[in-house]
Amino acid sequence: MISEAMENFSPDLTTFQLASNCIPVRGAVRTLICDLQRQIGRLIPSTFYDFIVSIDRRPLSILEHEHSSADWAVLRKNMAGLISEGYAFWTPTSHVFVPMALDWESPARVTNAIIDIAATSTHDYKEIVGQLGQIGCLAIQFRSFTPLSLKNIHEICQACNGSLLRHVDMILPFTIEFTESALNEFCSQNPLITRMTIYSSPYSKRMTIPLTPTFIDFELGSFTTTSCGQVHEKLFSMNLHHVLESMSFNNCLNRKLSIDAQGEIRNCPSTPEKYGDSKLVLLKDALKHHEFNKYDLINKDHIEGCKDCEFRYVCTDCRAFVKSNDGVSANNRVTSKPSKCHYDPYTARWN
């Protein structure tokens, strides 16, 4: 494949072209090429990426004379490797391949919400879901820190039926009622549920619900209000929506609204700022607070460490748990590296 890719071109006219859907993200040491169509990625040395940038639409016949024969052989091999894997191609008409628009837009004032549930919670789910619909929210996550029966969960699902919601995600503690057969039947009857995470389970397993996109993860570990903000390769997302939002906005807090277990409205359930009691303040009015959206434009290009990381547009951010000098400063929270990220972009190693 590589030899064919290297041979099938006319160097007098041909230029090397990354596919428009392949977005390179330069890091300190490595560059990640994000294929937003296939939702896969390819790591290359950042020095090779710099070469790709430098040859922008210049014929290979000219470039060959600018490098030693040994260097050119290596560069051609690397280019051919990207071509054989579908990330790039040779073309004599590079001018017809326009860059993909990288704008991210949404008509919704809130795209996703989190509702925390404790034993003392008194949420009016029907009212909350209705108000979320008024501001365009399509996805909601319920995080329970107290055991819920299938009847309790069904009541929550009933409040979601007939709403604008398209995705319901649930994080729940394990109970003996949560057998695989019972959950299979329950999720089949409640198709809005797209994911369940059952924590403190006696076993670890992923099960899927037949004929639906729903999956259920049984996890051994516990889950608390401080469990969010994890940064790990298995949590990377290379889909178009996530990457484009990450390039312009904070991919955790942009267009997010949360209601904590006590009913307080927040941007994130783990950040200290509160914007009123959800029983007394309309969600659309809470959004008008001058500080509610203060993190929206803090994307990874502004965050220490992250701004030099090749994974900055495919991972998730966290402004609640960050590495700071005093641990509590709001100023440090704005641009400090997430404390639960253990990747060093300057050595390309996970610590």
Residue 12 pLDDT? 56
Residue 136 pLDDT? 97
Burial 110-134 (b: 16+ CB within 10 A, else e): bbbbbbbbeeebebebbebbebbee
Alpha-carbon distances, residue 223 vs 86, 217, 301 (angstroms): 40, 13, 30
State the Cα–Cα distance between residues 109 and 129, nearest whole angstrom: 14
Q: Which residues of the chain have pLDDT under 70?
A: 1-13, 324-333
Which residues in 67-166 belong to E strands, given as ranges?
Answer: 88-91, 112-117, 139-144
> Which residue has 């009847």 as its token pair?
151
Alpha-carbon distances, residue 188 vs 153, 169, 184, 209 (angstroms): 14, 14, 6, 7
Residue 195: φ, ψ to 5°: -155, 145
State the Cα–Cα distance between residues 276 and 283, nearest whole angstrom: 9
Question: Cα(first)–Cα(last) distance of the chain, in Å?
Answer: 36
